């Protein structure tokens, strides 16, 4: 009887306290691996940096390589340019006034990457630590079959901190009726665009995926179990005292 009462109490308390146990986070890039700098100085067009091996973290679902492409228009403005730099745990994106700016940070893997974690409300996450101007940030995922989908939002200097892009907001890039398979992703593209010629300057220090807990137990549902367990312990103690 003692074992049964104690087991009941422990199970109830664990149920109440385990709501956040299954939340998960996958770091795609902490920018500790330098390289991939691309610079467009005073000329319109596009440039692609070298491919960088970033498969250095312990998580087996990492992408293997990272490559940066910068495209700028309006380079006829004297000494105007655009730059992406990755080093010392930061990724910086900047363009001068008068330059329309687009940057793609492309993550690739020869083996498919499963982006679905244990949990709900799955979402991409960036940590914006500095900002000036307004930019459009996007994530585009492509699976083994070539199906792709994109989620985007605009952020500015007033949006410092974590910015999140929910998987549920992903929009398919074609209308063939086939959804992208998030368990078999071979390419992920993180994009930053100025959208106009006013210039921008942003720095981020984390790019990843996170979720909420799988099983949130509301207090009205879990409270009776915990109360019953605690009451059982109290009854057991009174019996021993008698």
Q: DSSP character for 123?
A: E
CA distance 52 to 91: 14
Band of pLDDT at residue 70, cut at 50, 70 and 90: confident
Pick the CATH number of 23-216 from 3.30.70, 3.30.1490, 2.60.120, 3.40.50: 2.60.120
107 within 8 A of 101, measured Cβ to Cβ: no
Q: In which element (H, E) is residue 47 found?
A: strand 45-48
End-to-end CA distance of the chain: 16
Q: DSSP character for 24?
A: -
Instruction: Count how many residues are written for the chain.
Output: 242
Among 114, 113, 123, 112, which residue's Cα sits nearest to residue 23?
Answer: 123
Q: Which residue has the tokens 């910015």?
A: 163
Among 184, 199, 100, which residue's Cα sits nearest to residue 149?
Answer: 184
Q: DSSP character for 160?
A: -
pTM: 0.76
Q: Which residues pair with 124 in a beta bridge?
A: 165, 209
User: C-alpha angle 229/232/238, rounded to 5°?
Assistant: 150
Q: How high is the pLDDT of residue 64?
A: 86
Average pLDDT over residues 92-116: 88
In the chain, which residues fall in CATH 2.60.120? 23-216
**Averaged pLDDT of the chain:** 76
CA distance 229 to 235: 10
Q: pLDDT by residue (tens digit) across 173-205?
A: 988 888 999 999 999 999 999 866 678 899 999
172 within 8 A of 181, measured Cβ to Cβ: no
Residue 136 CB: number of other CB atoms within 10 A? 15
Q: pLDDT by residue (tens digit) across 74-85?
A: 544 555 678 888
Q: For residue 126, what are its two tokens?
A: 């960036």
């Amino acid at each position: 009887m003692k074992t049964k009462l104690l087991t009941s109490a422990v199970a109830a308390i664990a149920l109440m306290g385990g709501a956040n146990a299954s939340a998960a986070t996958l770091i795609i890039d902490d920018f500790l691996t330098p390289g991939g700098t691309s610079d467009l100085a005073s000329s319109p067009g596009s440039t692609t940096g070298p491919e960088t091996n970033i498969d250095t973290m312990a998580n087996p679902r990492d992408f293997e390589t990272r490559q940066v492409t910068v495209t700028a228009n309006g380079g006829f403005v004297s000494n105007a340019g655009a730059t992406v730099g990755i080093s010392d745990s930061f990724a910086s994106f900047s363009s001068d006034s008068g330059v329309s700016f687009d940057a793609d940070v492309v993550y690739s893997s020869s083996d498919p990457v499963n982006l679905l974690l244990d949990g709900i409300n799955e979402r991409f996450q960036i940590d914006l630590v500095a900002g000036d101007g307004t930019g459009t940030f996007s994530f585009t995922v492509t699976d083994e079959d070539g199906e792709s989908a994109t989620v985007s939002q605009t952020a500015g200097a007033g949006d410092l901190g974590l910015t999140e892009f929910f998987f549920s907001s992903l929009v398919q890039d074609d209308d063939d009726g086939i959804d992208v398979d998030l368990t078999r992703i071979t390419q992920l593209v993180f994009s930053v665009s100025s959208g106009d010629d006013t210039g921008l300057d942003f720095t981020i220090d984390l790019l990843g995926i996170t979720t909420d807990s799988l099983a949130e137990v509301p207090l009205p549902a879990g409270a009776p179990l915990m109360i019953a367990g605690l009451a059982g312990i109290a009854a057991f103690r009174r019996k021993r005292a008698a």
